[in-house]
Amino acid sequence: MALEHAILVSLTERAGSGYELARRFDRSIGYFWPATHQQIYRVLRRMDEAGWVKHTEIAQEGRPDKKVYRVAAAGRAELTRWLAEPEDPAVLRDGLGVKLRGASLGSVDVVLKEIERHRAEHATRLEVYRSIQKRDFPKPSTLHGRDLHQYLVLRGGIRAEESFTAWCDEVIEALRKDNP
Amino acid sequence: MALEHAILVSLTERAGSGYELARRFDRSIGYFWPATHQQIYRVLRRMDEAGWVKHTEIAQEGRPDKKVYRVAAAGRAELTRWLAEPEDPAVLRDGLGVKLRGASLGSVDVVLKEIERHRAEHATRLEVYRSIQKRDFPKPSTLHGRDLHQYLVLRGGIRAEESFTAWCDEVIEALRKDNP
DNA sequence: AGGTGCAGTGCAACGAGTTGCATAGGTACG
DNA sequence: CGTACCTATGCAACTCGTTGCACTGCACCT
């Protein structure tokens, strides 16, 4: 599995503390692999014990000390091993589909409102992603290597949110027509 | 949370055994909420103890006995309660994004092959969904109520797979151009 | 003076999902 | 005849993810 690997990818790009990693996940890698600070701390300790990463304690003024992690040789080896290993395709998992499926057992109107709410949230995420795209990748055709990969991951997030909001629109329209 | 509720929705439509439910999940509800037989058996027992469902043991010839579950009053109440309750929007979680992000740390070529493989799998799922759509919902504009909801859920699965395969295509093309 | 929020790490308990295995009889194939 | 797959249920162990909490100290707002 992969929180280990997601962290290794992030740490290879740049060393950082658990806290910093948690914030990075909220942005970039988190589009495809969300994680809370709790998970991250636990996995960091595990990887430290396994020798995949090393940490240095850094004393700070006015702030708590922090542990900055770097990827060790064993971690790099594990990462390349994992990159070459096939992975099971992901599955969708969204309670909203279950709600829609069961809508007629409760109030269709309430479920409709819920779908509108989700649509709004996903549209907000979409706007966030689009503004990142504009800011960080204004000329996609000029990208290469790591920057290109990062851009393509962002594109995945954008496409997923576009598709989801479009589905919500289809559902909302159909339910409105059916439920006058 | 929601495996309970997914099962309640499915059982409300039609009573069934754990085994049957597992197979139903492989098809319809599983597009949005996959579950293994293990999870289903465990949750069924839990719901039985809680009085949300009742079971009848049915002896069969040439086959093992089975327990057919029906939704009880408490289960119906729980289901309508849950339907009215707001739910957190789902997040994407796909290791493929992490691999792409880290591609330059290993072999871009190997990651590209992996993406092609995922594309093929998702395309297969998409074809399955489309054939279900053709077979079960040839005239979507005539649908109402529960049938309409079921159709719209399927549409969600179709849209998700379409969007994913299109993203894979974008990635494959971009990586090929970048990696001659 | 008190509340909120940020930076920073962490424990403990729980809930959800995964994997391997066990049992058992029937059918179908080579 | 053996193997493999289908129906049918379930235990045990494990990993993964979630939630609530604890502690420190500074900055900012009202």
pLDDT in tens, B132-163: 999 999 999 999 999 999 999 999 999 999 99
In chain B, % helix, strand, coil (3-state, to 5) comes to 70, 5, 25
B99:A83 CB<8 A: yes
pLDDT at residue A63 is higher than 90? no
Q: Which of A6-10, A27-31, B127-131, B145-149 has the lowest mean pLDDT?
A: A27-31
**Nearest-CB residue to B34 (from A93, A95, A156):** A93
Task: State how many domains chain B has.
Answer: 2
Short-list B102, B99, B115, CA closest to B176? B115
Q: Residue A81: name the closest of B119, B107, B175 by CA.
A: B107
> What does the pLDDT read at residue B99?
96
CB B94 within 8 A of CB A32: yes
Which amino acid is it at A101?
A: R
Among residues B32, B62, B84, the one where a domain terminates is B84
Sort B84 into a burial class: Cβ within 10 Å, 0-12 / 13-18 / 19+: middle
Nearest CA in chain B to A153: B97
Same domain, A53 and A113: no
User: Rounded mean pLDDT of A12-40?
Assistant: 93
In a domain, A54, yes or no: yes
DSSP strand pairing (A53-58 vs A66-71): antiparallel
Q: Which nt sits closest to A34, CA to C1'?
A: D17
Contact between chains at B146 and A32 (C-beta distance less than 8 A):
no
Say yes or no: Cβ of B55 under 7 A from any atom of strand D. Answer: no
CA of A63 to C1' of D29 (A): 21
The answer to whether B70 CB is within 7 Å of strand D is no
Q: Specify if B158 maps to a domain.
A: yes
The reply to whether A122 and A151 lie within a common domain is: yes
Q: Is A21 helix (H, G, I), strand (E, B) or coil?
A: helix
Domain endpoint, select from A24, A55, A84: A84
Interatomic separation, CA of residue A84 and C1' of nucleotide D10, rounded (Å): 37
pLDDT beyond 90 at A64: no
Backbone angles phi, psi at A53, to 5 degrees: -135, 160
**Residues A88, A94, A99, A100: what is their CA dihedral angle, to the nearest 10 degrees?**
-80
Give per-residue pLDDT as tens, B27-71.
888 889 999 999 999 999 999 999 999 999 998 877 888 999 999
Handedness of CA A26, A27, A29, A32 (dihedral sign): positive
Same domain, residue pair A7 and A80: yes
Beta strands in B53-155 (DSSP E): 53-58, 66-71
Q: Return the pLDDT at A69.
A: 97
According to DSSP, the residues that pair with B67 across neighbouring strands are: B57
In this predicted structure, the answer to whether residue A61 has a pLDDT above a threshold of 90 is no
**Cβ-defined contact of A86 to B114 (cutoff 8 Å):** yes
Read off the DSSP letter of residue A116: H
Do residues A22 and A80 share a domain? yes
Domain boundary among A52, A84, A116: A84
Structural domain includes residue B90: no
As a whole-number percent, the residues of chain B with pLDDT over 70 amount to 99
Angstrom CA distances, B150 to B71, B153, B155, stand at 20, 5, 9
B69 and B113 inside one domain: no
Question: Does residue A168 lie within any of the structural domains?
Answer: yes
Strand B53-58 to strand B66-71: parallel, antiparallel, or no bridges (unpaired)? antiparallel
Nearest to A99 by CA among A164, A170, A179, A171: A171
What share of chain A has pLDDT > 70, as a percent? 99
A40 touches strand C (CB under 7 A): no
Is B5–A95 a contact, with Cβ atoms under 8 angstroms apart? yes
The tokens of B51 are what? 């009085």
Query: Is the pLDDT score of A59 beyond 90?
Result: no
| A37 vs A29: CA distance, rounded Å | 14
List the CATH number of the domain containing A42.
1.10.10.10
A35 Cβ nearer than 7 Å to chain D strand: yes
pLDDT of residue B45: 95
For residue A101, give the nearest of B150, B162, B166 by CB distance: B150
**Is the C-beta atom of B93 closer than 7 angstroms to strand C?**
no
| B180/B178 Cα distance (integer angstroms) | 6
CB contact under 8 Å between B32 and A94, yes or no, is: yes
SS3 A108: helix
Computed from CA positions of residues A92, A84, B99, A70, in that sequence, does the dihedral angle turn out positive or negative? positive
pLDDT of B89 higher than 80: yes
Same-domain check for residues B49 and B115: no
- Please indicate, yes or no, whether residues A71 and A111 belong to a single structural domain of this protein: no
Domain that holds residue A74: 3-84
Tokens of A46: 């595990």
Q: Which chain B residues have a beta carbon less than 8 Å from that of A101?
A: 9, 28-29, 32, 149-150, 153
Question: B104: which 2 tokens?
Answer: 């330059």
Distance CA B159, CA B166 (A): 10
ipTM: 0.93
Kindly state the tokens that stand for B175.
């990586």
